[in-house]
Amino acid sequence: MSFLDSLTAGLALVSNIESFLALLGGITIGVIGGAIPGMSATMAVALTLPFTFALQPITGILLLLGVYKGGIFGGSIPAILIKTPGTPASSATVLDGYPMAEKGEAGRALGMALWASCTADLISNLALILFAGWLASFALNFGPPEFFTLILFSLTIIAGVSGDSLLRGAFSAMLGLLLATVGLDLVYGTNRFTFGDPSMMGGLNFIAVLIGLFAIPEVLAMVWHPTGHLGKVRSIGQNKVSFADYRRCFRSIVRGSFIGVFLGSIPGIGAAPSAFLSYSEARRKSPNKANFGKGEVEGVAASEAGNNGVAGATLIPLLALGVPGDVITAIIIGAFMVHGLQPGPMMFVLNVDIIYGLFIGLIVSSVFLLIVGSIAIRGFKYVADIPRRILVPSVLILCVFGVFAVNNNVFDVGVMFVMGWVGFLMMRFHVPAAPFLIAFILGPLLEDNFRQAMLMSGSSPAILFRGPITWFFWALTAITVFAIVRAGTRAALAQRRTRLNPSAEA
């Protein structure tokens, strides 16, 4: 199928009112979810996922992508107005956004955040369109040994970059891999960790684990600290962002967008590190570096470009290799699977119309984000004032409804609540949840590819080292492990030195 035929097929899929309404509705849900202190883009996507099951595949996936993109921008609104990032990705926006709000320039900060977000989103989407197909065609050369080493490398990165402690990240990933083995062994048909319960023979339901891990702990945290997210909402002010502001910050926006694209295409890094790296680069190269942290509009532009530049790029490994780029794309992979689609290189052969339909929808999403974001900036005051007594029960009802609707099974609701308490304990003890979820998804793929490689070679591990691709991923894995262990050792030594000699810290 030629490029023009693929484009026409994709256009035929999305050129209907349902697809555009799904995209618009998704962005609206995402912006509201990101703007509510105590919720997040991840939680908004998780709660929306069950509602996509009855939709057409392209419509459901566009809805989730809209929630994702809206949520990343939405987190900047409370970050600027009440110094409470709606999502972790918006943490860097607080540094200059809130000081601007204190000076009466909240409207200018929010306007710049919106324009930087939309620009970075567009650049990120174009990067996805340009590179995903090329990477997928290259990945068609992969066999089970190559995929095994790729997934092992992805898990290594995810365990290392998610959180402050390597040990906690590795523990979280190991727990995810362990729970992924529950159910029937697909090769020999034996029961694994089912404890004689027929409900567990199919494994733990992905949606129940997902919502339990991300939504329920947030509900428990809201109950635990009902006033934890309260803050004074600043007025928008009279100052608006001007084209001169945008032109002055344009170089930082483009630089931040490319930093986001690069880091987003590496599985597991996510939007928060990208936002801080983009911010630090903007400060390093800006003539106004002394003003950063005191209310510099370029700081807001750089941080928002960094976190929104990730949004399209995280779909590059998802669509091309079948490996989620971050925790939100790990949730979105569930929507593909529910509709019988397996992201990866073969999708560019078997479902190329859906791929191009998504590309067209993503380009349109940047325009919708600009429209919805402009309206949301003015309406945030009402969103921020939603009482906890309404928000907590509403989220809990959505969780129970969403999980029960998948299989009409009360057992899945029980799994959700158990995983909710596991997630809450992980939150309390600072064990990152992202490695758990991504390992839970990639675990079966890791096991299947390993066992297929062993069957191909008559149980000889030498097949895992065949060819340059496997050597490349083994080398990357070794470098990553060395870098993570070195960074962890240095941090531990510095902490110990500070503990032994507190005056040195001062």
**Residues 310, 484: Cα–Cα separation, whole Å:** 22
Confidence (pLDDT) at 164: 58
| Ranges of the chain with pLDDT below 70 | 1-3, 37-38, 84, 86-88, 158-165, 186-187, 225-239, 268-270, 381-388, 391, 406, 502-506
* pLDDT at residue number 505: 46
Q: Are strands 183-184 and 191-192 parallel, antiparallel or unpaired?
A: antiparallel
pLDDT of 238: 59
What is the pLDDT, as a whole number, of residue 22? 92
The partner residues of 184 in beta bridges, in order of sequence, read: 191
| Under 8 Å between Cβ of 372 and 27 | yes
Rounded Cα distance, 462 and 456, in Å? 11
pLDDT at position 25, please? Answer: 93
Contacts with 82 (C-beta within 8 Å, 6 or more apart), sequence order: 37, 231, 232, 233, 234, 384
Cα–Cα distance for residue pair 213/190, rounded to 1 Å: 28
How far is the C-alpha of 284 from the C-alpha of 281, rounded, in Å? Answer: 5
Question: What's the pLDDT tens digit per position in 364-389?
Answer: 998 999 999 988 887 776 665 566 67
- For residue 191, report the phi and psi dihedrals to the nearest 5 degrees: -80, 140
* Burial 118-150, CB ≥16 within 10 A → b, else e: bbbbbbbbbbbbeebbebbeebeebbbbbbbbb
| Per-residue pLDDT tens over the stretch 121-141 | 999 999 988 888 787 777 777
- Position 382 scores a pLDDT of 63
Separation CA 97–CA 69 (nearest Å): 20
pLDDT of residue 506: 42
